[in-house]
Amino acid sequence: MNQLIKSKKFDISAGTNFSLAELQEKIDAAEKAKQNPFREFDDVEILLWYIHEQKHADAKNDRSDRTRTEYENELRLFIEHLLTYGSEIGIDLDAIEEGSLFKSLAPRHLRRYQEWLTKESPHVQKGKVYSPATISRKTTILKSFFRYLYKVNYISRDIAEGLRIASVRKDDRPDRDLGPQDVVTILRGCRAINHPVLFGIVLVLTATGIRNEEFCRLTVGNVKADRIHGGHFLEVTGKGNKKRQIPLKLKVTDSIRQFRQARGLPALGEADPAAPLFTTSRGTAFSPSYLVSYLAKELEKIELEGIEMKLTPHVFRHAFAITSRLNKADVYDIMRSLGHEKLETTQIYLEKVFAREGHAINQWSDDALEDFL
């Protein structure tokens, strides 16, 4: 079977230098001829169109570059797995339909792939285990892609129905609950080793609740004077190109100034508004992946007794939500501050806080067990 597929030269890398304009011309020509818009597409082209298609008039409202990269990497890996391990997976194809791997697959193949991925893939054979969240993400991407192919009539059957549900239970979610005292411990550790760069990153992430990508995109011009309340605020562009204004506590603004001074950057009032607000040691803006690795490396320099979890920008975003709730902030205010579209997402951040708030023991009076409580 592997040779059967390879003989069709299914080379996903061939589409690296594709042009959206050229693909759009193909669609327009098919539409003019009253044919299926994707009639002349091959598998590489339909995959790349699915990932990079511009759906909004303002391209900023489409998928972020990071999301596109994640989707493309996951789908490339899926294809590579089929080509390399097709027999082990059970991709029992007798022929390639219309020269297309995607058109040749059936629901059983996606089901078998999902099972192989979790039980027999090289990752598992090395003694590693995919987390429920990772399996859920991989399943979501595959399901979204093949449902799209079915929707636009590139394939004739909804083969995504072969994928089993891979939802994440509450107990399966990674522990990202960092309380305010934990953050204080980390910040004190930064000061103890005189690390204003790490201090500034941790304090800004925790005191604003911004996403990794939002932090990395910040420019000097995003720090604005607050003419109403005094001080400063951050103008942040979030998902869907939606902007929100985040007030900055005075000491948070000071930490930004100290960060820039430590990096040898111009003061806020003297810098180019378009310049990155936070930079690496080379003077370039952080990328989301480098920010994660930088935090991990630098935090190893601090004694963090009792803090076992992996500390990432997202963990500090959770810390913002938790600290806000512990300080009596309304859950809807927290939702808006985080830039969440749905209350359910914010509630996931606060599950354990809500559980403890609503515990029956909180209703006990001080003399419930006389002198023993």
> What's the pLDDT tens digit per position in 270-291?
999 999 999 999 999 999 999 9
Determine contact, residues 205/342, Cβ cutoff 8 Å.
no
Question: Which tokens is 300 given?
Answer: 């190893």
Mean pLDDT in residue range 208-220: 96
pLDDT on residue 349: 87
Is residue 370 over pLDDT 70?
no
Confidence bin at 373 (pLDDT 50/70/90): low
pLDDT of res. 170: 54
**Backbone φ, ψ for residue 222 (5° rounding):** -75, -15
pLDDT digits over 36-57, tens only? 999 889 999 999 999 988 876 6
CATH topology of domain 180-357: hpI Integrase; Chain A (1.10.443)
More confident residue, 12 or 365: 365
| Region 317-343 average pLDDT | 93
Beta-bridge partners for 233: 224, 247
The residue-averaged pLDDT of 217-232 equals 94
**C-alpha dihedral sign at 170, 175, 176, 181:** positive
Residue length of the chain: 373
Q: How far apart are CA 308 and CA 316, in angstroms?
A: 14
**CA–CA distances in Å: residue 270 to residues 16, 149, 227, 260, 265:** 41, 52, 20, 12, 10
Q: How far apart are CA 256 and CA 268, in angstroms?
A: 9
pLDDT average, residue stretch 191-217: 96
Query: pTM of this prediction?
Result: 0.68
**Once rounded to an integer, what is the mean pLDDT over residues 204-210?**
96
Mean pLDDT over 55-70 rounds to 75
The pLDDT score that the predictor gives to residue 310 is 87
| Close Cβ partners of 106 (under 8 Å, ≥ 6 residues apart) | 157, 159, 162
Closest CA to 39 of 147, 155, 146: 155
Residue 305 has pLDDT above 50, yes or no: yes
Range(s) for CATH 1.10.443.10 in the chain?
Answer: 180-357
Question: Is residue 11 scored above 60 in pLDDT?
Answer: no
What confidence score (pLDDT) does residue 65 get? 78
Share of the chain above pLDDT 70, in %: 90
Return the pLDDT at 5.
46
More reliable by pLDDT, 9 or 190: 190
What pLDDT, on the 0 to 100 scale, is given for residue 113? 93
Residue 311 pLDDT > 90: yes
For residue 293, give every residue at least 6 positions away whose Cβ sits within 8 Å of its Cβ, in sequence order, or none: none
Give residues with Cβ within 8 angstroms of 332, minimum separation 6. Answer: 343
For residue 129, with 0-12 CB atoms within 10 Å meaning exposed, 13-18 middle and 19 or more buried, which class applies? exposed
Query: What is the rounded CA–CA span in Å between residue 241 and residue 223?
Result: 18
Does residue 314 surpass a pLDDT of 50? Answer: yes
Res. 104: pLDDT tops 80: yes
Per-residue confidence at 4, pLDDT binned at 50, 70, 90?
Answer: very low
- pLDDT tens by residue, 109-167: 999 999 999 899 888 888 887 888 788 899 999 999 999 999 999 999 999 999 988 66
Residue 169's pLDDT band, with cuts at 50, 70 and 90, is low
Q: What is the pLDDT of residue 133?
A: 79
Least confident of 116-120, 239-243, 253-257: 239-243
Q: What is the C-alpha separation between 278 and 198, in angstroms, rounded?
A: 11
In the predicted structure, residue 14 carries a pLDDT above the cut 60 = no
Average pLDDT, the chain: 87
Quick one: average pLDDT of 226-245?
Answer: 91
> Residue 3 — pLDDT band, cuts 50, 70, 90?
very low
